[in-house]
Chains A and B, each alone.
Chain A
Amino acid sequence: MSQKNKKNKKKNGLARCLEIAAKRKPLVILSAVLSSIAAICSFVPYLAIYCVIREILMVYPDLNRLNTEAIRLYSVWAMLGIIGNLISYFLAILCSHIGAFGTIYDLKIEFADHLARIPLGYHLSIGSGKLRKIMEGNIESIEGFLAHQFPDFVASVTSPIVMVILLFVVDWRFGLASLAGIIAAFVAEFMGYGSGEMKNTMQQYQDALEDMNNASVEFVRGMPVIKIFGKEESSFERLKSAINKYTDWVLKFSLGWQNCMPAFTTIVNNIYLFLIPVGILVGRNAKDPKMFALHFVFYLLFVPAIAGILNKIMYVSESFMEINNNVARMDEILYISELTDNGTKVPAGCDVRFENVSFSYEGRTEQALKNVSFQAQEGQLTAVVGASGSGKSTIANLLSRFWDIGEGSIKIGNTDIREISQEELMKTISFVYQDTFLFKMSIADNIRLGRRNASDQDVMEAARQAQCHEFIMQLPDGYQTVVGSSGVHLSGGERQRIAIARAILKDSPVIILDEATAFSDPENEYLIQKSFENLTKNKTVIMIAHRLSTVRDADRILVMQDGELVESGNHEALYEKGGRYRKLWDSYAQTLEWKVGETA
């Protein structure tokens, strides 16, 4: 569906919501129809009461001639109208809910699926918190809109139409008078929107709201530091002034409506005042005074109903503004292009080649990689070193195709990775990242993610090689222990070893290692290194190294600086050369010498 979306012209608000719900069109239409029926039914009690009064007035004051049969019929009609209104409204809401919950289910699944296909960079720049918020907040609100506001919207379109027809059919002069009242009510209401000052106040109010939110985020986030430096007083004052400013503007904004809103309320509740002069002027010269009197009664009875309907319209129009915003938030993500995945080739070998690769992250002007070329030989360990921000991690991200490169090409076994299907590529490459993620399932299943059909024996063997068998056996339920359950605490090092076991099980020919930047305790570190050795045997390994101590034995070391590959070679050669690598290494040696408590 998202593919389709890209081609479509971008819609917003209601149109987009209906487009989203297209799959459940029958339900939506049914709900609209039922909702209209409900709206029509809601007028029936008024008509019935009017008919009762007409019956009475026809014979009044001689009540003995009253047609009691007709009265009974009308009271039944009134009841039927009420029941019809409620039942059809209930069914309308039911249909719309089934449609809406189904639609947001589809949307969420589509959204989740889409997220797995867009460049991973978006995940990092947008953040999982925000993405979850979109899924839970913004998409969820579409449910509310489709389920409640949409039927209400249909009803609020139908009701006025039926209402205006009724108003005009009985007596057009009274009808005109009522319409004048309705128009006056809206004029009063919208006078508030028009003025330029109001717009300005609105802007100020929204700015103040944003300021206050930002100030409070910084306030809470900075609280530990604020406390350490004893700055509670001054930072509280700063937040307080933001809060006060917001209150000032929101009050000013709200009070800007202090005449329009009450005027609207007053007019909709007093539309009968428009009827009286018409009644008097028409009534004086009425040809059939009895009919006229009857109509007058009808209108007096009916116009109070207008208030309820108009209030509903106001309410629905408010929710329209909100839904626009929510849909836009969602579409912002859905319109991100997915990575193309139509390659069919299978890599014919396992050496990795970067050919004149340049790349910059979206929204940044400077290039993260500038014309980088190198080859990582099959079965060798290639290490990448450099200062933070030099482009080391970018190499790993591009190779696993979390982003697509700007220029040049990346090849595995002579095949451009863009020509390999995503699935095949992922089979070829394993990565072990510093931020290890485990799912809330058993440890065995977490390891088994590496190879779905692995036997328990295989899983255990991988765990042994990754040095985690021992600690797993000490957990309450061994391999069946569910990660994240209470009482189960896994240290960073242990988590990483589980991730390594996963990669060992996967047994793919190319391995990307993003060396942990964090030091674990010595024992853990020792075990991790041992498990690395088991993992990387006879593989093409690209290691993003953050510590120089680990790169010494690499077959080839690539030295990155500001996105450029400045040197490459093995440790001895690079050290001899006395360039950038030598400089890094010398600094490193100096850090080793350092002891706390000594002056610089």
Chain B
Amino acid sequence: MKKLKDFLLLSDRGYADLKKAILACTLTNLAMVLPFMVTVMLFKEILLYFTAGEINWQHMWLLWGAGIVSAVIVFLAAKNDYRKTYIASYKESNHTRERIAEHLTRLPMSFYNTKDLTEITTNMMSDCSAMESMLSSTIPPLIANMISSTITCLLLALFEWRLALCIFVTIPFAFMIIWASKKRQKKLFEKQVEEKLTASDRIQEYLEGMKVVRSCNMAGESFENLKQVLTRLKKISVKVELAVGVFMSSASMVLQAGIGITVFVGCRLLIQGKVELLTLLMFLLMATRMYGPILAILGQLSSLLNLDVVTKRMRTLLNAPEMSGNRPCTPGGSICLEHVSFGYNEEETIKDVSLTIRPGETVAFVGPSGSGKSTLTKLIARFWDVSEGRITYGGDDIRQLAPGGLMKNFSFVFQDVTLFQDTILNNIRMGKENATDEEVLEAAKKAFCDEFVSRLPDGYETVLGENGGTLSGGERQRISIARAILKDAPVIILDEATASLDPENEVFVQQAIANLSENKTVIMIAHRLRTITGADQIFVLEQGRVKESGTHAELLEQKGLYKKLFRLQNSMAG
């Protein structure tokens, strides 16, 4: 039972509630025995006619009364278990949702860069919903069925062991069939899942490559590919169903053979005078009812055994390590990288990089794509933790600093800007929680937001659509710069827009950046070399290493990679 708690990732409270829910369901099942008893009593009265030639109608009315009372009891029990299961499961999933959400706030930034964000959200909501329904309508009745079936078994066996044996003798065989087939079923399931994933990949590829599919008139090839995987998926799916069907059907056939055995053996025992007619009738009645719940157990047994699969994604999410560090952070120190190495996977992206950035400096990282420029800035802001060496800020290893405190020291201007469904004013206010409207407007002005906001119907009160809606790239970027201006952090990390804006927009963005970076330490990922000729330090990266460093003039003199790149670019731009 303890295992169940882990399987379902339940809290203590949730586990206690689940136990109560199971108990309530068991009570309902047991209450259902009452109508059964009354029915048996009715049989007894009717049998009197055959022995005494008369039925006691008075007794019949009494039994009816007893039946009504027992129905009320069943109702109360059912209502009780309904309340218990639903309240327990919804409260628990509420708790799980909160727990996951809270955990998400403590995860390192790297988590959000590696995982597909939509997948996380789907996880969070749909897995919780799946769990919710498991907790409310699958698990408690199932376990309650097991318990009450066992109790009934025992009671019946005490009452008349020979007939009880007839009813229950088939159960072990049925379970054995299911158990024996488990391996085969699992293999087929796995194969089906695999085919599903392949199909999913192919579909995605087909959809994403739609332009190419059309322009190359390749309805043939890519379609053939798609057809093949879909056909394979179809075949394996039929196989799985066939296997499951065969095993389930034969198991339930074996199980229900108990009815025939009971009838046959029971009658013999009756003739031999070893059992009463009433007892036989009771068992016959039992035989028609007993197998339903057991079949339900059989059907759901495999899903119960594979419970951990359901919670696997949630478990991965909850087990993702939180960010460490708790020391307070003093702003304004130097940033030092000491023999830093790092890789997103086995392959190292950054190899043994050492450098120092002093407060107030403007430094630039340049190099071909994939050389590690943006990785370096991410390491500095601790989106990722380094795998070797260390990064210090004001002398402290950044891994020891409280994550929130460290983050206060950085502002970012990246190309992809996340905006919220809120007013422009509030989107900018992100930068500083309790900033007054005046402060926000001041920052917006410095970031040249006025220019386009004045053209919007409600000005700064305009509510943006999902992720910014209709704003252009340059406009979104200016909002993000306004945020950064408001935040007023000592270090600015700037990813020079690689996406070209139209020239007018670009002028505004550039001026906004100039306002932002006044008197700040600026770390910039540069793509166009002429924008960084005035930088204090330029680091030229190649394949994760610092190849050259120095000022623009020094680097040109070195006649290395920098000079070559600079030449190339100048020749193109003309």
Chain B residue nearest to A224 in the complex (CB): B112
Chain B residue nearest to A525 in the complex (CB): B572
A227 proximal to B (CB < 8 A): yes
Measured in the bound complex, the distance between the Cα atoms of B261 and A598 in whole Å is 95
Contacting residue for A596 out of B86, B362, B369, B407, CB 8 A = B362
Contacting residue for A243 out of B94, B260, B267, B474, CB 8 A = B94
Q: Chain B residues near A595 (CB, 8 Å)? A: 530-534
Contacting residue for B284 out of A49, A79, A388, A599, CB 8 A = A49
CB distance from B440 to the nearest CB of A (A): 13
Q: Chain B residues near A600 (CB, 8 Å)? A: 510-511, 514-515
Most-contacted residue by chain B among A216, A244, A433 (CB, 10 A): A216
A243 and B101 contact, CB distance less than 8 A: yes
CB within 8 Å for A45 and B57 given contacts A212-B125, A431-B215, A437-B211: no
A592 and B412 contact, CB distance less than 8 A: no
B514 and A598 contact, CB distance less than 8 A: yes
Measured in the bound complex, the distance between the Cα atoms of B410 and A547 in whole Å is 31
Chain B residue nearest to A249 in the complex (CB): B90
A176 proximal to B (CB < 8 A): no
Q: Chain B residues near A449 (CB, 8 Å)? A: 212, 216, 218, 221
Contacting residue for A136 out of B203, B220, B472, CB 8 A = B203
How does the 8 Å CB contact mask read for B493-505 relative to A, with 1 for contact and 0 for none?
Answer: 0101011111111
A587 and B43 contact, CB distance less than 8 A: no
Q: Chain B residues near A262 (CB, 8 Å)? A: 75, 78-79, 82
Complex interface: stretch among A66-74, A161-169, A346-354, A410-418: A66-74
Measured in the bound complex, the distance between the Cα atoms of B57 and A296 in whole Å is 14
A492 proximal to B (CB < 8 A): yes
| Cross-chain pair count, CB within 8 angstroms | 437
How does the 8 Å CB contact mask read for A216-238 relative to B, with 1 for contact and 0 for none?
Answer: 11111111111111111111100
CB distance from B296 to the nearest CB of A (A): 11
CB distance from A30 to the nearest CB of B (A): 15
Measured in the bound complex, the distance between the Cα atoms of B138 and A96 in whole Å is 26
Interface of chain A, helix or strand or loop or mixed? helix
CB within 8 Å for A293 and B43 given contacts A78-B260, A387-B504, A518-B499: no
Complex interface: stretch among B1-9, B46-54, B143-151, B350-358: B46-54
CB distance from A420 to the nearest CB of B (A): 13
A-B contact pairs, 16 of them (CB 8 A): A60-B47, A66-B270, A68-B271, A78-B263, A109-B227, A128-B204, A135-B203, A220-B121, A227-B407, A243-B98, A276-B64, A296-B46, A388-B473, A431-B215, A437-B209, A596-B364
Contacting residue for B241 out of A93, A123, A387, A518, CB 8 A = A93
Contacting residue for B259 out of A78, A227, A290, A492, CB 8 A = A78
Q: How large is the interface on A (under 10, 10 to 19, 20 to 34, 35 or more residues)?
A: 35 or more
CB within 8 Å for A521 and B565 given contacts A273-B71, A587-B504: yes
Measured in the bound complex, the distance between the Cα atoms of B320 and A213 in whole Å is 22
CB distance from A138 to the nearest CB of B (A): 13
Most-contacted residue by chain B among A147, A235, A240, A304 (CB, 10 A): A304
Measured in the bound complex, the distance between the Cα atoms of B98 and A96 in whole Å is 42
B498 and A229 contact, CB distance less than 8 A: no
Q: Chain B residues near A131 (CB, 8 Å)? A: 207
Contacting residue for B90 out of A228, A247, A422, A521, CB 8 A = A247
Contacting residue for A590 out of B67, B221, B507, CB 8 A = B507
B300 proximal to A (CB < 8 A): no
Q: Chain B residues near A427 (CB, 8 Å)? A: 217
CB within 8 Å for A270 and B71 given contacts A101-B238, A128-B204: yes
Chain A residue nearest to B60 in the complex (CB): A280
- Considering only residues 103-145 of chain B, those with a C-beta below 8 Å from chain A are 104-106, 109, 112-113, 117-118, 120-121, 124-125
Q: Chain A residues near B507 (CB, 8 Å)? A: 587, 590-591
Most-contacted residue by chain B among A48, A225, A386, A552 (CB, 10 A): A225
Q: Chain A residues near B518 (CB, 8 Å)? A: 599
A548 and B503 contact, CB distance less than 8 A: yes
Q: Chain B residues near A105 (CB, 8 Å)? A: 230-231, 234
Most-contacted residue by chain A among B74, B205, B267, B370 (CB, 10 A): B267
Contacting residue for A74 out of B57, B124, B263, CB 8 A = B263
B253 proximal to A (CB < 8 A): yes
How does the 8 Å CB contact mask read for B190-210 relative to A, with 1 for contact and 0 for none?
Answer: 000000100111011111111
Q: Chain A residues near B526 (CB, 8 Å)? A: 596
Q: Chain A residues near B212 (CB, 8 Å)? A: 437, 439, 449
- Considering only residues 510-524 of chain A, those with a C-beta below 8 Å from chain B are 517-524
A455 proximal to B (CB < 8 A): no
CB distance from A140 to the nearest CB of B (A): 9
CB distance from B107 to the nearest CB of A (A): 8
